[in-house]
Amino acid sequence: MLIETEKHVQLFVHDIGEGTPVVFLHGWPANNDMFEYQRNLLPAEGVRYIGVDMRGYGKSDKPWDGYDYDTMADDVKAVIDKLGVSDAVLLGFSMGGAIAIRYMARHNGHGISKLVLAGAAAPIFTQRDDYPYGLTKEEVNDIIANTYKDRPAMIDEFGGMFFNKKHSEPFQQWFASLALQAGGHSTIKSAVALRDEDLRGDLDKISVPTVIFHGKKDQICPFEFAGEMNKGISNSRIVPFEESGHGSFYDEREKFTEELLQFVKS
């Protein structure tokens, strides 16, 4: 279905199943289809899967503006309000995890009773003088420059950092195809947000039970991110994924789904 979040901006939302609603926010630069291997199973377990293609990605509209965390968090609120969702679990992966944190802080956790941060690009994606973790701003600038120059090649290189385990070539091609559905300008402007935004002041505004899924071998959002989020979110715990890179949802998909179901039903 399409949900209008502001004038001339509609987001595609995949809403399937009945039961406890779990709202999935995907990572950069993919779309909600990255959760296909969870979506295949969760509705049979009493979970209502609500997958949002954020503005600029997948089947959603691709406006020129609005790729900052505040606007994308406002988009999430519009979806939750339109669907009348309450007592939902919000799951944010990578950039989606950053947007989920901003949503919880900016909208006081409206409609959300539990939070899952999976490989979240938070509290900051890039290094600062007082934050030594993650990519440098210069490295993100290179990604942006390569997106202007040859986006498919950038996606191929970035995809090579995504998983720890070796997956089939058809799977890798399919995963890259998700990123190619995004707008080029959307990919660039979201990378700017990832480079520049800082969520450290948002963490202590989260009061709901929170679980942090994070791959021990993550090359994109290092495992130290999980510790920083855990320190800042009072009611949180870490579930490490020992064999996973950034993409724990597929590197250890059985554990990912099992841990998610356990948290949803607890």
Q: Which residues are catalytic?
A: 94, 218, 246
Residue 38 has a CB neighbour count (10 Å cut-off) of: 21
Q: CA-to-CA distance for 266 and 260, rounded, in angstroms? A: 10
Q: CA-to-CA distance for 31 and 34, rounded, in angstroms? A: 6
Per-residue burial over 228-266, b if 16 or more Cβ lie within 10 Å, else e, is bbbebbeebeebebeebbbbbbbbbbebbbebbbebbee
CA contacts within 13 A on the Cβ side of 229 = 36
